[in-house]
Copies of this chain bind each other. A is one copy, B any other.
């Protein structure tokens, strides 16, 4: 049984539509419902709901909280998947990379361009890929989305194309 930690921080992947306001917002955690759509018979998925923020609103101290949560999980090393808004995913990833020089497991940052459960969402694809990546990638910090693993210092978000590209 492979333990995989999931640290949820919010972002588009967790946004929900509010019938009262007509907006999509980070109101409720939803990734757990989507994990249940996957078959993970030999995985022990441990989800920590750390915060639920649009990543444009994440502050330096929020990023420190993520780092602290990761450090906590690494005391008993197992791969880590972090769900995160795409706009500042690289910032958080670079902080982790810089702060954790002796990683023994992969840390995978993922998210979505369209919220989980909305038509044409890439959220479940990215979760699926990230949970797989967590098992097979070498130690390091990665962004995994749209069929690709990017070492975090090699990725750049292309807002127009709505995806990450190599830099």
Inter-chain contact A38/B125, CB cutoff 8 Å: yes
Whether, in the assembled complex, A76 has its beta carbon less than 8 Å from a beta carbon of chain B, the answer is no
Closest residue of B by beta carbon distance from A117:
B119
Would you call A137 an interface residue if the criterion is a C-beta within 8 Å of the partner chain's C-beta atoms? Answer: yes
Copies of this chain in the oligomer: 4
Contact B149 A131 (CB under 8 A): no
Bitwise interface map of A from 1 to 41 toward B, beta carbon under 8 Å scored 1, else 0: 00000000000100101011011100000000000011111
**Which residues of B have CB within 8 Å of A145?**
39
- Determine how close the nearest CB of chain B comes to the CB of A27; give it in whole angstroms: 13
Query: B24, B38, B43, B146: which contacts A41 (Cβ < 8 A)?
Result: B146
Are B17 and A24 interface neighbours, CB within 8 A? yes
The answer on a CB contact under 8 Å between B117 and A162 is: no
CB pair B22 A12 closer than 8 Å = yes
Is A148 in contact with B161, judged by CB distance below 8 angstroms?
no
Report yes or no: B135 in contact with A41, Cβ–Cβ below 8 A: no
Could you jot down 30 A-B contacts, CB within 8 Å? A15-B22, A17-B114, A17-B118, A19-B113, A19-B114, A20-B159, A20-B160, A20-B162, A22-B24, A23-B23, A23-B24, A24-B24, A38-B147, A39-B125, A41-B147, A41-B163, A42-B146, A42-B147, A117-B120, A118-B118, A125-B128, A128-B129, A131-B147, A132-B133, A132-B144, A132-B149, A133-B136, A136-B136, A136-B137, A136-B149
